[in-house]
Amino acid sequence: MGESVESARELLTLEELTDRVGLSVRNVRFYTTKGLVPPPVRRGRSGYYTPDHVARLELVRELQSHGFTLAAIERYLRGIPTGATPEDIALHRTMLAPWQSEAPVVMTRAELNRRANRTLTDEDLATLAALGIALRDRRGRFEVAGSQLSVGLGLLDLGFPTEAAVAAADVYAEHGRQIAKELYDLFRTMVWPAYKESGASPEKLREVVERLKPLSIASLVAAYESAMDEEKREGIARRSRAQSP
């Protein structure tokens, strides 16, 4: 009986939900029809909302505040397991702001050409997409990483092969997902419980992540450079052995 009372206490009406998350009824219903949040829990003829709805809508609002388009929000939420708890989703929110790169700028192809000061070919666009610099959305527009565009254009000027960009993107994606998973698991199993048990606020955990970000990036760069140096040394050694009589 105590469990049912507690469950009932966690259920929210649509009006209570909108007050909690600061979104309109229209927006909540729109996000539900798009599959960004699950449908309400039915109790007779009435629909109610749970902490899971609250957590997912707060994450949607957080993503919006960083300039994510609807398509980008959908992609992000697809990466969260359907069985994720409200605490798991809250951890995504906590880690999002300090770790997320700049919000993409949405452009038409004509606007992107003007920004690039050239007419980009389909192959150019494929290379920029593989590099993660200009991604086409469902409407045919482009989500552009503004600060990286000049880097991508420079690579185009140097004749960087599209095939190499695609292959490199696969490498980054594969190993990036593994690093992200392991770091997320570390926060979920070691950092989050420790701070939660101590009663620390979400803002404090956010500050921890903000301070960790530059250290983690520096560590990844150092590990990459060390591995590349080691790979070059091994390559030289292999060629030397092959050339030896």
**97 falls in which pLDDT band (50, 70, 90)?**
low
Question: If we measure between CA atoms, which residue out of 159, 140, 168, 182 comes closest to residue 224?
Answer: 168
**Residue 213 CA from chain centroid, whole number:** 15
Domains of the chain in sequence order: 1-100 (1.10.1660.10)
Return the percentage of the chain with pLDDT > 70, whole number: 93
Highest averaged pLDDT of the listed ranges 19-23, 74-78, 88-92 = 19-23
Q: What are the two backbone dihedrals, phi and then psi, of residue 47, each rounded to the nearest 5 degrees? A: -110, 140
pLDDT higher at 101 or 110: 110
Question: If we measure between CA atoms, which residue out of 60, 64, 67, 69 comes closest to residue 89?
Answer: 60
- For the record, the structure tokens of 44 come out as 């007779």
Residue 112: which residues within 8 A CB-CB, separation 6 or more? 120, 134, 142, 144
Of 31-45, 91-105, 140-154, 181-195, least confident by mean pLDDT is: 91-105
Of 51-65, 86-100, 176-190, 226-240, least confident by mean pLDDT is: 86-100
**122 falls in which pLDDT band (50, 70, 90)?**
very high
| Consecutive H or E run containing 198 | none
- The three-state secondary structure class of 9 is helix
- For the record, the structure tokens of 170 come out as 């696969």
